[in-house]
Structure 1
Amino acid sequence: MASSKEKAIRTVCGYCHNNCGLIAYISNGVLQRIKADPDHPANRGDMCPKGAAAPEVVHSPHRLKHPLRRTNSGFQQISWQEALDITATKLLEIREKYGGETLVRCNGAPVTQIAWDAFVQLTAAYGSTNLTGSGHVCHIPRDIAFGTVYGGMAWPDYKNTRCLIMWGSNPPDSRDYRGAHGRFTRLIPEVKRHGAKLIVIDPRRTNLAKIADRWLAIEPGRDDALALAMLNVIIKEGLYDKKFVTQWTIGFEELAEHVDRFTPEWAQGVTKLRASDIRELATTYATTKPAIILAGNGLDQYPNVIQTIRAIGILCAIAGNMDVEGGNVFLPKPSMSPLLSQPPEIKRLSADRYPLYPWVPFPGFVDAVLNGEPYAPKAMLVYHANPALINADSTKTRQALEKLEFLVVCDIFKSATAEMADIILPEASEFEQYSFQCYANIEGGFVALRPKVIEPIGESRPAFEIEYDLATRMGLNEAYPWTNNEEWINHRLKASKITLNDLRKQQIIYATPPLEYRKYLKHGFDTPSGKVEIYSQKLKDLGYPPLPEFKDLDASLAAETASPHNYPLIGTTRRPGVYVHTRFRNIPALQRLEPEPLARL
């Protein structure tokens, strides 16, 4: 409850993908404290340490409060007019000299809608389709793979399931449960109390693994072998859903022949899991109806991710767990009006090399800058991202960033990437500008308002005011259906017939009906054939394997290492739940929880 001197405002956290509902308590223009919103469908009163630390983030002494320009003697504070004039002039010079396609926009984890959208319109109006970020080690490989199987990512229906397989995922730490499911700290324990089995596949004994019925400590990067062996067992023992397979899949016969050699005994030598445990896992998943698999971010970070995820998607389908109650489902989500698009003659930087990738993988950007093929990017707009630290081979990444003719960073803190920038633009925090969030939810997709609860700190400004002012200086403002954050909200939500004024009156608005199961019976699947494509003709036409294949990771690593016998250990990563990528490691309340990077042996 707010004191007599405080004002309580419902808002939404923007520090991770869960976007929990919060109540911000404001006094004298200062964010004093944060409480979890008990009525928000995403968290129902739960809150993680990041949300609780919001006042420290917002009022941190490390906040960027003024535009900065790099000089020979360090960064110099300049006015907004000067910062935007310099940026506009330099970008126009680069476009005139090299072409619009040489501008690249880089964003970080898209934990808010602003993080998805900021500077996308400007990039398109400038003449570039080159959007990059950390998606190549985040969600995009899974999106691509699931898309080739049944048209998109299907998310767990936790509360109605009888078996949960958490595969390379750790939602109690990441808070990424894929959709709004209420009290996330209690979600999985409650499902277990109702009799569901919990199986965790993870090299690490996480806290989730500690409460699991079975923990399978797989060798890192060998998940493709496990998935293929599970397919082998389910098909050979006739445990698949014969009616669904017959009516709604393409390529089952080819799959059955293909996986015949991938036995549990073979997989035992690859995964370091016992063959009997692999058989038990496959049998449990196929016979415990309904069941879900949450394929997590850990799987994105290995070379064979597409084939691995395709195999997992096929498991969901042939076991009869696709879009059914308690299985993997396509959750409803509010519609949004599109941003500016580009004519087809403007090709992405990596379109030929990575035809299925919707953006530019960051390593593709690095290679293009350093090698000039197919052309060299010359400028980059970095928003809500820290590519200098987040990407592999930081030396090579820095070389590429240093080779750019112009680098602009828009952020709330001076990150390692901002330290390399020519211009730094200070953005208002999530609590200092209007935004919104769309949620996928079983009860129906909904929209929540993230209002401005305090004025921007220093001279920081809302993202879309910065973008529109820059576009105006470049003569690109006619491409914009908005001029600020408030108008951007109205534009994006027009497709759902929701306005900012509607959200001001009612902070949460449901925009779709509740989840409908087995939608494929009416509409089919969002694939070329309208069915689950076990055998992908699209992949074959692009020169990729049409059926999921195993990749020998040991052979791949040996080929890349001069003396593989000198490196007997295998490393894998873990992201601490108190941070998001490289963000918030300067916040004392979070530093106290995990003060140092740890190597766990």
Structure 2
Amino acid sequence: MDLRFFHRLGASLLDRRPLCGGIRSEAWVGTYGPVPGIRPEQVEDSRLVVAWGSNVTWCNLHLTPIIQRARRRGARLVAVDPRRTKIAEQADLHVALRPGTDVLLAFAVACELERRGALDRQFIARHVHGFDAYMEVARRWPPREAARACGVPEADVLRFAEWYATLSPAAISVGNGLERNRNGGSGIRAIFALPALAGKWGVRGGGCVNGAGHAFPKTPHRLGRPDLVPPGTRTLNIIDVGRHLLDPGLRPPLRALFVYNHNPLVVHPDQNRLRRGLSREDLFVVGCDVVMTDTLAYADVVLPACSHFEHPDLFAAYGQHWLQRAEPVIPPEGEALPNTEIFRRLAVRFGFDDPCFRATDAELMDDALDPADPRLGGLRPSAIPTDRALEMTAGGEEFVLFRNVRPATPSGKVELASGYLEKKYGAPLPGYRPLDSPWPLTLISPASDKRITATFGGCGPSEEPQALEMHPDDARDRGLADGARVKVWNDLGEVHLTLLVTDRVPPGIVCSLKGAWMRTTDNGQTVSALAPTHKADISEGACYNDARVEVAAL
């Protein structure tokens, strides 16, 4: 209902995906098309599991017991992550590469597969588009050169490639973390290429645990009604909202902002610029949330929102292949309303009398999915029983790419050279762009186990002063001791944190978990203040892990 309202209003369209997940999604669609990969449950049958930029014990929790069952059956586990996460501690091999070099590691594995004669030439000939052009780029980064650039031992690259060549089925789970740099799209595309090069698809437990959203019969045009958008309406990148708020040349200017389901002051890169934009006296801000966030402190009007416990909804499970419907389990608190009702009432006040603005929640559910899809068993989406989940399958079988589903690319093949990505972003092939910076340390800001991005940032466990993890070598070089209060700064801002000296991060990399609220800091800045606003190679995505900083004692 929200999109219907804003489309009819003629508000600027907002591209939300660059903030999170858009790079990975576009890389998947550019390589395989809008089709699902394997479902998480199949990983139990894998002989090799690769958690690449995927901190499954915090951010993909349902996959963790499945990996554990696979390991009890003899599977090996590889974790690729700059930080020694819990899953990396449990792994048989942890490749602690530098942020932004994932593409080089994947190129090196492809090169080593070729050297070992482990490329599936028959599969490539039948099902892969752009192999020669792709390998021409990849061969520039054999294991020795790639290992040097990634900051890892060459032996780790060779061992990873050996296992990937010899162990089948092999499953790769690609997380969102590795997309957040200037080479994010290239890195993910190069990873997605590996199961096609080695012929890992077509069997249960083989391929990539990605693309789950494409398992569902979604009908976004029926739900969001883009036909209501006036011709010529502009689209703004959500990352650029702070810049647009301060741009005197923007036509038409942004005079009003409606913030809901989001805490941008804490989440967006270049936090200080966004704060200056929100502080404009002439900007009208409406906020809607279940709690009073840092962003809502800048709102002129605050509307209380329901939690997901207080309204009905459909849930196309995040990262899984199951569809569920839920009813409220408690009544709305106070004057809180679900988003659907808030925008229904706004539509009435604005005089929008089209029947689509009077749709009930049940009718919106029915618009969200194709009711004719046979997997719904003749049920309207709003009538799906709440005591079960509907399995999304291909003719009754679990999705297995190249067994019961095929790539939905223009060529009908796995596109290592992507016409879609070339046309949209000028990126037909993956590539590597080094980042030169005068600042000596790379700052990464992965997810916290106490928050979901910034959600729950106002709860007790998240109110403590936040830590900065630093390798002992870097701490010694700066004369810093464990537990010291330090300032972390660059041209964009300065954040005050408590130092945690640990070898959990490699030399040259520091880490502070994202999503902390202003109540955790003594100078009104959190780690997002240090993140740049330049864009990744595809999807114009955010580059949080391109932050470069220095650290000193307070």
Fold match (TM-score > 0.5): yes
- For the residue of structure 2 that corresponds to 1:192, the secondary structure is helix
Correspondence 1:598 to 2:444? no
1:367 pairs, out of 218, 243, 246, with: 243
Go from structure 1 to structure 2 and tell me whether the alpha carbon gap of 1:250 and 1:203 turns closer, same or farther (over 3 Å shift). Answer: same
Q: Is the 8 A contact 1:462 1:485 kept in 2?
A: no
What's the offset of the Cα at 1:144?
0.7
- In structure 1, the residue matched to 2:485 is none
1:366–1:397 CA contact under 8 A, matched in 2: yes
Deviation at 1:349, TM superposition (A): 3.6
Matched-pair contact (CA < 8 Å) for 2:51–2:78: yes
- Aligned counterpart, 2:379: 498
In structure 1, distance between residues paired with 2:312 and 2:454: 24
User: What SS does structure 2 have at the residue aligned with 1:377?
Assistant: coil
| Counterpart Cα distance in 2 of 1:484 and 1:465 | 9
User: Which SS does the other structure have where 2:314 is aligned?
Assistant: strand
The yes-or-no answer on 1:160 pairing with 2:45 is yes
The aligned residue for residue 109 of structure 2 is 230
1:342 to 218, 226, 230: 226
Provide the residue aligned with 1:485 in structure 2: 361
Shift of 1:478: 1.0
Alignment partner, residue 142 of structure 2: 263
Which of residues 212, 219, 229 in structure 1 aligns to 2:91?
A: 212
Distance 1:519 1:203 in 2: 30
SS of 1:448's equivalent in the other structure is: strand
Counterpart CA distance in 2 for 1:431 and 1:518 is 34
What CA distance in whole angstroms lies between the structure 1 residues aligned with 2:179 and 2:231? 28
1:441 Cα deviation after fit: 8.4
* Matched residue, 2:156: 277
Q: Residues 511 and 542 of structure 1: is their aligned pair in 2 closer, same or farther, counting only changes over 3 Å?
A: closer
Q: Show the counterpart of 1:582.
A: 454
Counterpart-to-counterpart distance in 2, 1:458 and 1:348: 37
Provide, for residues 110-167 of structure 1, a one-character-per-residue CA deviation record: whole Å limited to 9, x for no partner. Answer: xxxxxxxx5122111222461244x324211000112111114635531221111111
The TM-score, its normalising length taken from structure 2, stands at 0.75
Contact 1:490 1:498 in 2 (8 A): no
What does 1:75-474 align with in structure 2 at a 5 Å threshold?
A: 119-128=2-11, 130-133=13-16, 135-152=17-34, 154-155=37-38, 156=40, 157-175=42-60, 184-327=63-206, 328=208, 333-338=215-220, 339-343=223-227, 346=231, 349-350=234-235, 360-371=236-247, 372-373=249-250, 375-403=252-280, 405-439=283-317, 445-474=321-350
CA apart distance, 1:231: 1.7
1:548 match: secondary structure: coil
Measure, in 2, the Cα distance between the counterparts of 1:254 and 1:479. Answer: 52
Pair 1:572 & 2:457 matched: no
CA distance in 1, matches of 2:58, 2:469: 16
| RMSD between superposed Cα atoms in Å | 2.7
TM-score, length of structure 1 as denominator length: 0.70
- 1:539 is the counterpart of 2:421: yes
Q: Aligned pair in 2 of structure 1 residues 225, 458: CA closer, same or farther (>3 Å)?
A: same
Cα offset, 1:361, TM superposition: 2.9
Amino-acid identity (%)? 28
Match in the other structure for 1:29: none
Amino acid at match of 1:165: V
Aligned equivalents of 1:230 and 1:326: distance in 2?
Answer: 20
Other-structure match for 2:389? 508
Q: Which stretches in structure 2 are left out of the alignment for 5+ residues? A: 471-554
Give the conservation status (yes or no) of the 8 Å contact 1:441–1:515.
Answer: no
Amino acid at match of 2:283: E
Contact 1:160–1:325 (CA under 8 A) maintained in structure 2 = yes
- Tell me, yes or no, if the aligned pair for 2:107 and 2:138 is still in contact at 8 Å: yes
> Which amino acid in the other structure matches residue 304 of structure 2?
P
Cα deviation, 1:272-291, whole Å, max 9, x if unaligned, reads 11122212212211221111
Q: Contact 1:383/1:409 (CA < 8 Å) preserved in 2?
A: yes
1:62-77 maps to which residues of 2 (within 5 A)?
A: none
Q: Contact 1:333–1:440 at 8 Å: present in 2 too?
A: no
Distance (whole Å) between structure 2 residues aligned to residue 381 and residue 147 of structure 1:
30
Q: Quote how far apart the aligned CAs of 1:536 are.
A: 1.9
Q: Judge conservation of contact 2:108–2:141 (CA < 8 Å) in 1.
A: yes
Which amino acid counterpart does residue 169 of structure 1 have in structure 2?
S
- State the 1:422 CA deviation: 1.7
Superposed CA offset, 1:418-439 (max 9, x none): 1111211101221111112123
Structure 1 stretch 317-326 or stretch 339-348: which is displaced more? Answer: 339-348
Contact map agreement 1:368 1:375 (CA 8 A) in 2: no
Flag the 1:502–1:570 CA change in 2: closer, same or farther, 3 A.
Answer: same
Q: CA deviation at 1:172?
A: 1.0
The SS at the match of 2:244 is: helix
SS at match of 1:254: helix
Q: Is the 8 A contact 1:482 1:491 kept in 2?
A: no
Between the aligned partners of 1:408 and 1:265, the Cα distance in structure 2 is 54
How far did 1:238 drift?
Answer: 2.2
| CA distance 1:274–1:137, shift in 2 (3 Å) | farther
| Residues 79 and 91, structure 2, Cα contact 8 Å, conserved in 1 | yes
Q: What is the rounded CA distance, in whole Å, between the counterparts of 1:570 and 1:579 in structure 2?
A: 23
Letter in 1 for 2:245: V
